[in-house]
Amino acid sequence: MDASNQTQTVVKSSRLKSLVWNDFERVKKGDVMVAICKHCKKKLSASATSGTSHLKNHLNRCRKRQTRELAEQLILVREKQRGGTINLENLKFDDFGPIDFKFDERTLLNLKFDQERSRYDLARMIILHEYPLSMVEHVGFRRFVSNLQPSFQLMSCDDVKSDCLQIYGKEKQKVYEMLDKVPGRLSLTADMWTSYQDHGYLCLTAHYFDETWVLQKKILNFVMVDPHSEQSLAEVINTCLMDWDIDRKLFSVTFDKFFSNDVVFRTRERLSQSRLLPNNGLLFHVRCATTILSLIVQDMLEALNEVTHKIRESVRFVRSSDTVQQSFNEIAQRLIGDSQRGLCLDCPTQWNATYAMLEAALGYKDVFSHLQQCDLGYTLAPSDIEWERASTVCSYLKLFVEVANAFTGVKDPTANIYFPELCDINLQLIERCKSEDSFIKSMALKMKSRFDTYWSICSLVLAIAAILDPRFKMKLVEYYYPQIYGPSDALERITEVSNGIKDLYHEYAISSTMSSFDHGLACDVRSSNGINGVLPITNNDTRDRLSGFDKFLHENSDNQQVKSELDKYLEEPVFPRNVDFDILNWWKVNAPKYPILSLMARDVLGIPMSTVEFDSVFNIGERLLDPYRSSLEPDILQALVCTHDWLQKEVEECGPIPSSSAMPLCITSS
């Protein structure tokens, strides 16, 4: 028979029991049985020996079938909202308007609704953008979601809280595994926060360099503590360290002003007993450099409180009415001519704003004196002595503003930048303590006493970090110390710093050597395994037994006059100072040249010398949780704060949030 005359016969048989045949027609084309998909009309084999597995696989991939099912679901939901019912067996899509079956794969995926996935995305959204948990119960949100996706089962506040805790658990495991793979040691910052109910919260943040020498920060804990119990604080810190299993990798902890030395001692004592800290924990204790600036500034402003009050009220008086402002401007025009600077009021909790107010007012001090003579209502003009004291304090504040700006000039400052700035402050305080003005001298002595307490704790780690800057090395210490300590004591202090960095390097060298020995021994064991794991006796055993001798030679290398990497580094000329110098890139490039010293540099430069975020460096208020966060239970608060920090990379990858919709951080300063 000619092929053109062949006919198709639909075969109906009671033997077609499989449900798959609901979506196929079994047709006989000549002598061949063919299964034709009712949705896409594709032809597949339908012979008795073919089975039905290939037909099921096709249905799972058939886009038109998926589209029809989605359309049926949408129609059912639509009719349910209208209060009607539909029999899908008699469904005619023409009754509901045109339905386009030409969807691409992306559209199909978007049309598929997944309740669990949507719940997960909602919880992540709340964490990422710090929305209140209760938003899922807001009428407006519920109406919006119902219209957007009627199939979504609305959640309660407890439901979303549970989802957030689950996400926290999963993300915590990821961070745990990440910290375990950190190539070097890590350092922590310990901050205290206060809620509106006066509850204390400890925030622990890990700082470290990854394998590409990029500085990373992760908030590890945000836990409620008793800030008045030193023993309790130390126990909480140690518990957090063990929970994350980072006590063995810890280098230092930078504490803010709320932690006493006793808390530090208790924390360090356990780690020292376990011999987990490098150099016997000599560099473990670090104090926040930004905090010491803030405390010294507060001492200055407290001493100048009466004068600052007069100047602040004087500015308010001038700006109180147009008449006074006009009179003030006329006097200023006669005395100082045109001035581009104007008066400004400060925010008492932002000390750089107070500096700006004082600096601006000092330019109009003669104008204020004449205004008092012209306007009987103005009685707060400072005296000449008070203006002089304000000028002295303002010069102090200018230095401190410049230093604070140097600390915040980069988003993630490395430890090497702090030493020269703090040395300059030290020299200024030494000079002011010699003042013949009793007011200035008394204020300077108080500030110097506070600074000396900080310097006694942090000077060594500050100096070592500066030495590891190839632009400075030991030369910067040798430059500043004679000015700070005087010629007679400077040599001893310089020797202390030199011995400190040598001891630290010696420990890294031994640790690196032992790691190499352990790795080599493990390789020998793996390569020489005999039958059933029994090691054959070879000459390698003699070499392994002498590994202790190799360690002995390394520890006594000084006797053999072998120069260490540190000696070679310090003997080389300093690198030219350049504003574009990237210290991390320098050490990354020179790591093959200084394999041991670069390991030490990575850990030291990663020490956070400040616990304060760069946008809060001028804030002299306490760190206070906002009212909403203060109302949360401790477990969910920790989950939200930590997970928000861990998911920030997603926000960065998606680009900045528009200012109109951006939410403030969950923890704010006031």
| Reduced 3-state DSSP string for 418-440 | HHHHHHHHHHHHHHHCCCCCHHH
User: To 10 degrees, what angle do helices 351-362 and 289-303 make?
Assistant: 40
Query: Integer distance in angstroms from the first to the last C-alpha of the chain?
Result: 94
Which residue, 435, 425, 374, 386, is CA-closest to 403? 425
From the centroid of its chain, how far is CA 580?
24
Distance CA 375, CA 327 (A): 9
Instruction: Report the candidate in 167, 86, 93, 94 with the shortest Cα–Cα distance to residue 126.
Output: 167
CA distance 163 to 354: 46
Do residues 241 and 251 lie in contact, with contact meaning Cβ atoms separated by under 8 Å? no
Cβ atoms of 624 and 670 within 8 Å: the answer is yes
Residue 43, token pair as written in the block: 């032809």
CB 320 within 8 A of CB 475: no
Single-letter amino acid code for the residue at 74: L
Angle at which helices 289-303 and 384-407 pack, to 10 degrees? 170
How far is 472 from 463, CA to CA, in rounded Å?
A: 10
Give the distance from CA 469 to its chain's centroid: 24
Structure tokens at 158: 């407890």
**CA distance linking residue 274 with residue 284, whole number of Å:** 14
Query: How far is C-alpha 491 from the chain's CA centre?
Result: 40
The two three-digit tokens of residue 189, written as one number? 């910052």
pLDDT at 270: 82
Residues 6 or more apart whose Cβ sits within 8 Å of residue 188: 204, 205, 206, 207, 220, 250, 252, 253, 254
pLDDT recorded at residue 7: 54
Phi, psi torsion values for 340, nearest 5 degrees: -80, -15
Q: Is 8 helix (H, G, I), strand (E, B) or coil?
A: strand
Distance CA 482, CA 313 (A): 45
Low-confidence ranges of the chain (pLDDT < 50): 1-6, 14, 86, 88-109, 517, 519-543, 657-670
365 touches 328 (CB < 8 A)? no
**Residue 594, helix vs strand vs coil:** coil
Share of the chain above pLDDT 70, in %: 80
CA dist 461 and 469 (Å) reads 13
Q: How far apart are CA 80 and CA 567, in angstroms?
A: 81
**DSSP label at residue 137:** G
Nearest to 412 by CA among 614, 594, 162: 614
Q: Which CATH number among 1.10.3470, 3.30.420, 3.40.1710, 1.25.40 corresponds to the domain 165-288+626-669?
A: 3.30.420
Quick check: 583 and 436 in contact, CB under 8 A? no
C-alpha span between 463 and 583 (Å, rounded) = 16
Report residue 385 CA to chain centroid gap: 47
| Cα 158 to Cα 93: distance, rounded to the nearest angstrom | 41
Longest CA span, the chain: 125
**Quick check: 247 and 234 in contact, CB under 8 A?**
no
DSSP state of 69: H
Domain regions of the chain by residue span:
7-61, 64-111, 165-288+626-669, 291-386
Residue type, 258: F
Query: Checking phi first, is residue 635 left (phi over 0); if not, alpha (psi -120 to 50) or beta?
Result: alpha
Helix (H) or strand (E) holding 115: helix 115-129
Count of residues making up the chain: 670
The per-residue b/e assignment along 115-143, b for 16 or more CB within 10 angstroms, e otherwise, is eeebbeebbbebbbebbebeebbeeeeee
The burial class, CB within 10 Å (0-12 / 13-18 / 19+), for 29 is middle
